[in-house]
Amino acid sequence: MDLIKLTEEIVKSIVKNPDQVAVKRFDTDEEDFLLIQVMVDNEDIGAVIGKDGRMANAIRTIVQASGYANGIQRVKINIDSF
């Protein structure tokens, strides 16, 4: 599965405003490295990050594991609101 779609599906299932979720891929100079930017509504940022960052860490773990299975060694996910 595409990591961008996977990230988007996970985040949209958590938030109250799924139409306000934007997930973008940014290419880097490093090989086997993927940077994903997740933007959510300001109202939903707490749900996506979770208490003590547990939800964000869970999202990162799932996406990184999927990336590793598909030959991408490193995946970084930034979560922000607008």
Coil, helix or strand at residue 59: helix
Contact criterion met (CB below 8 Å) for 75 and 34:
yes
What is the set of domains in the chain, with CATH numbers? 3-81 (3.30.300.20)
Q: How far apart are CA 63 and CA 65, in angstroms?
A: 5
Tens digits of per-residue pLDDT, 17-75? 999 999 999 877 877 788 999 999 999 999 999 999 999 999 999 999 999 998 888 89
**The pTM is what?**
0.90
> C-alpha angle 56/60/75, rounded to 5°?
140
Name the helix (H) or strand (E) containing 37: strand 33-40
Q: What does the block give as tokens for 59?
A: 């999202």
